């Protein structure tokens, strides 16, 4: 595929800005957005990221939005690249003090610098601001260079239903964060519930951004717990299915395994094979009631087929920003056939 072709073909005049919408989770979504931002800056393109809120959780009286924060910190240049989450130059004094009080929960890593975002967010929410306004406020500090929208201002929490050990037939539910962090996703998940999603509405601006998009990209984020909760908000899937823009997904699974994290354990609960084809089929072809107009998989997964979806195989390792930019260029090339 020639790399010199125009990145995007404007629908209107060549000077009018293009609109690119990205559905994203946290760390994977944030890294992908670094590449999207770089491509967009060179192409008079505005980017709106619609970010998962299913990971959101109340801890120690604070509202914590792990995926929004990961995206904010990554794009704002504050993320710790080695740890993969949270802020660089972090200290842990408050966490140590909480441990001295034996304050629960103790399994969530709350850094001192990170705490500032949670304090500001919780304070603004208590004053009646919506999460999208709060996010806009946090963006004034981090200047992510893209418009960040939570999928919904209404609290959505992903819960995991697991079997109770030693008691046949009994189940219990726990917050996704507890399952993922405290238990390392080792308790076999029977089901994921996006609690609150049914009554939730898309955050202000979300349907409008989708309707005005020239291209929609589904980041290589966890399909079950990052992309799933976004699509569970009534109105978002419908807006995507209606939008005139092509929708291109990027596979988070390479050679049958998640690049990082435990998406395999999440997919298992849905009975979906942990493969580029499995996730492509889960998202489905737009013309068959699904979402995809194109599916980008890694070169190692060539040939992958997804029913009624054009598939392109290209390198999908986000090893650095240049590699991620190339992925975005390939996704846009697929979008324009």
Q: Which spans of this chain sit near ligand GDP (rule: CB under 6 A)?
A: 24-29, 67, 70, 220-222, 226, 251-252, 254, 258-261, 263, 316-318
* Among candidate residues 104, 109, 118, the one with its CA nearest the CA of residue 90: 109
Alpha carbon distance 212, 17 (integer Å): 11
Q: Which one of ligand GDP, Ca ion, none interacts with residue 245, CB within 5 to 8 A by kind?
A: none
**Closest approach of ligand GDP to the CB of residue 12, in Å:** 31
**Closest approach of ligand GDP to the CB of residue 253, in Å:** 6
For residues 144-161, b (16+ Cβ closer than 10 Å) or e, as one string? Answer: bbbbbbbbbbbbbbbbbb
Closest-approach residue to Ca ion (CB): 26
| Interaction of residue 26 with Ca ion, rule CB under 5 A | yes
- Measured from the CB atom, is 23 or 332 closer to Ca ion? 23
Return the residue of 56, 67, 293, 330 that touches Ca ion, per CB under 5 A: 67
CB 218 within 8 A of CB 306: no
Contacts of 72 (CB under 8 A, 6+ apart): 78, 117, 135, 138, 139, 142, 144, 148
The whole-angstrom distance between residue 314's C-alpha and the CA centroid of its chain comes to 21
- Measured from the CB atom, is 207 or 229 closer to ligand GDP? 229
* Among candidate residues 67, 6, 4, 28, the one with its CA nearest the CA of residue 214: 6
Alpha carbon distance 3, 78 (integer Å): 31
**Closest approach of Ca ion to the CB of residue 261, in Å:** 8
Q: Which one of ligand GDP, Ca ion, none interacts with residue 329, CB within 5 to 8 A by kind?
A: none
Alpha carbon distance 243, 69 (integer Å): 28
- Measured from the CB atom, is 55 or 214 closer to ligand GDP? 55
**Closest approach of ligand GDP to the CB of residue 20, in Å:** 17
Return the residue of 55, 153, 157, 281 that touches Ca ion, per CB under 5 A: 55
- Measured from the CB atom, is 226 or 324 closer to Ca ion? 226
* Among candidate residues 199, 110, 118, the one with its CA nearest the CA of residue 153: 199
- Measured from the CB atom, is 84 or 273 closer to Ca ion? 84
| Interaction of residue 25 with Ca ion, rule CB under 5 A | yes
Alpha carbon distance 21, 213 (integer Å): 6
Alpha carbon distance 291, 285 (integer Å): 5
Interface positions, 168-227, toward Ca ion (CB under 5 A)? 226
| Interaction of residue 281 with Ca ion, rule CB under 5 A | no
- Measured from the CB atom, is 151 or 239 closer to Ca ion? 151
Terminal-to-terminal C-alpha distance of the chain? 11
Three-state SS for 7-38 is: CCCCCCCCCCCEEEEEEECCHHHHHHHHHHHH
**Closest approach of ligand GDP to the CB of residue 237, in Å:** 18
- Measured from the CB atom, is 98 or 224 closer to ligand GDP? 224
**Closest approach of Ca ion to the CB of residue 28, in Å:** 8
Closest-approach residue to ligand GDP (CB): 28
CB 24 within 8 A of CB 49: yes
**Closest approach of Ca ion to the CB of residue 45, in Å:** 25
Q: Which one of Ca ion, ligand GDP, none interacts with residue 220, CB within 5 to 8 A by kind?
A: ligand GDP
Q: Could you identify the residue written with the tokens 């929208």?
A: 149
Can you tell me whether residue 337 is helix, strand or coil?
coil
**Closest approach of ligand GDP to the CB of residue 203, in Å:** 18
Residues that bind Ca ion (CB under 5 A): 25-26, 55, 67, 226
């Amino acid at each position: 595929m020639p790399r010199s072709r125009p990145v995007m073909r404007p629908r209107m005049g060549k000077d009018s800005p293009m609109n690119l919408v990205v559905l994203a989770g946290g760390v994977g979504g944030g890294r992908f957005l670094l590449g999207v931002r770089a491509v967009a800056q060179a192409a008079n393109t505005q980017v709106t990221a619609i970010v998962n809120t299913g990971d959101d959780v109340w801890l120690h009286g604070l509202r914590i939005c792990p995926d929004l924060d990961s995206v904010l910190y990554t794009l704002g240049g504050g993320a710790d690249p080695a740890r993969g989450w949270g802020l660089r130059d972090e200290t842990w004094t408050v966490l140590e003090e909480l441990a001295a009080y034996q304050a629960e929960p103790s399994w969530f890593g709350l850094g001192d610098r990170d705490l500032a975002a949670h304090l500001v967010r919780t304070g603004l929410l208590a004053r009646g601001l919506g999460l999208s306004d709060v996010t806009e406020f946090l963006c004034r500090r981090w200047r992510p260079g893209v418009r960040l929208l939570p999928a919904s201002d209404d609290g959505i929490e992903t819960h995991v239903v697991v079997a109770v050990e030693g008691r046949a037939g009994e189940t219990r539910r726990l917050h996704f964060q507890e399952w993922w962090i405290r238990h390392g996703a080792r308790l076999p998940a029977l089901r994921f519930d996006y609690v609150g999603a049914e009554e939730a509405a898309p955050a202000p601006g979300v349907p409008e951004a989708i309707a005005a998009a020239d291209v929609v990209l589904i980041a290589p984020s966890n399909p079950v717990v990052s992309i799933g909760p976004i699509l569970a908000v009534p109105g978002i899937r419908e807006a995507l299915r209606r939008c005139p823009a092509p929708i291109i997904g990027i596979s988070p699974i390479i050679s049958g395994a998640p690049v990082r994290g435990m998406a395999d354990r999440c997919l298992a609960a849905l009975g979906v094979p942990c493969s580029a084809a499995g996730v492509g089929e889960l998202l489905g072809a737009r013309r068959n009631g699904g979402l995809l107009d194109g599916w980008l998989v890694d070169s190692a997964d060539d040939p992958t087929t997804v029913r009624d979806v054009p598939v392109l195989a290209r390198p999908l390792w986000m090893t650095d920003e240049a590699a991620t930019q190339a992925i975005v260029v390939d996704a846009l090339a697929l979008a324009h056939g």
